Homo-oligomer: A and B are copies of this chain.
Amino acid sequence: MSGLGPGAEFDRIRAIAGALGGTAGPLDDDCALVQAGGTTLALSTDTSVERVHFRRDWLTPEEIGWRATAAALSDLAAEGASVIGVLSALSVPRDVPASDTTAIMKGVGDCVASCGGVVLGGDLTGGAQLSLTITVVGEVARPVRRSGASPGDRLWVTGTLGGARAALEALLTGGQPLAHLRERFARPVPRIQAGALFASLGATAMLDLSDGLAGDARHIAAASGVRVMVDLSHVPKAQGIPGGPLPPAVFAAQGGEDYELLATLPAGVDPRPAFEGIGLMVTDVGEVAAGEGAVFRLEGREVSLAGYDHFA
């Protein structure tokens, strides 16, 4: 269980892994890897719960389905895997009309189809809260784990950060997020292509940014036994994220649920030409050094950043 950073949520997972002992595989990476026939499958499961991960009045039913599916597919992206399909387990309260149930599943289907997969199967049950568990199934020739970063590697991030957080904060305070930021929250794009590209470029470690760069950088550090050094002035910020008391770079680095990829590449490998080919920004945000933990610097000064802990 070396692949998890500090935090109460991860303490719970460590306790579970201890109790499971030999009845569990390694539980500390984005995907489980299974050798089957002559191939390697990548599998992951992810739950989105009403009033924990979203509210029904924030999203259309199709967006609820899309968003939950994108969040789960993001784990395949972080492994460098291609998508076979998803299984969807949906719990719906009795006040949800059948047409909304269908629309949620349409969002699931559209999202997985956008990545070349299909809905393989599912379960439908009642429940007091709307809850959607998506299990993703992919195939991967060269899995990229969290544990392969070495001192000297550079740290790269796709897209821009902070957009989903900005939208979420607007929604939480009853405001109306800017349309393009709302889109980042409601319809994140699974970075499947980008993950495969990083893998083909020789990425040494990779994960998807669900807890925010500030939290997730620590997972790579813990799994790889290295220190991850982030230069906050280089962090790509979503346009229109709020100023306020925090420097925008700090806001962006602490924003969760952007579902961009964070990857380490050997120094000298420049992914930008390849990423131009898929029309996606990729930015060098720091380096890997000997040591442990994650260090964040802004204008030459070290800044202390906490990640997002779902059980705090």
Contact = CB atoms under 8 A, between A and B. Distances in A.
Interface string A84-106: 11011101000000100111011
Query: How many protomers of this protein does the assembly include?
Result: 2
Contact of A16 (B18, B23, B87, B101): B101
Interface stretch (A129-137, A146-154, A170-178, A291-299): A129-137
Interface residues of A, number: 67
Contact of A34 (B101, B106, B120): B120
A123 B19 contact: no
Contact of A45 (B38, B118, B123): B123
Most buried by B among A13, A45, A103: A45
16 contacts: A11-B98, A19-B106, A34-B120, A34-B137, A43-B120, A44-B87, A45-B87, A45-B89, A45-B121, A52-B127, A53-B125, A89-B89, A126-B311, A133-B133, A133-B135, A135-B135
Interface of A: 9, 11-13, 15-16, 18-25, 27, 31-32, 34, 36-39, 41, 43-47, 49, 51-53, 84-85, 87-89, 91, 98, 101-103, 105-106, 109-110, 112-113, 118-129, 131, 133, 135, 137, 139, 310-311
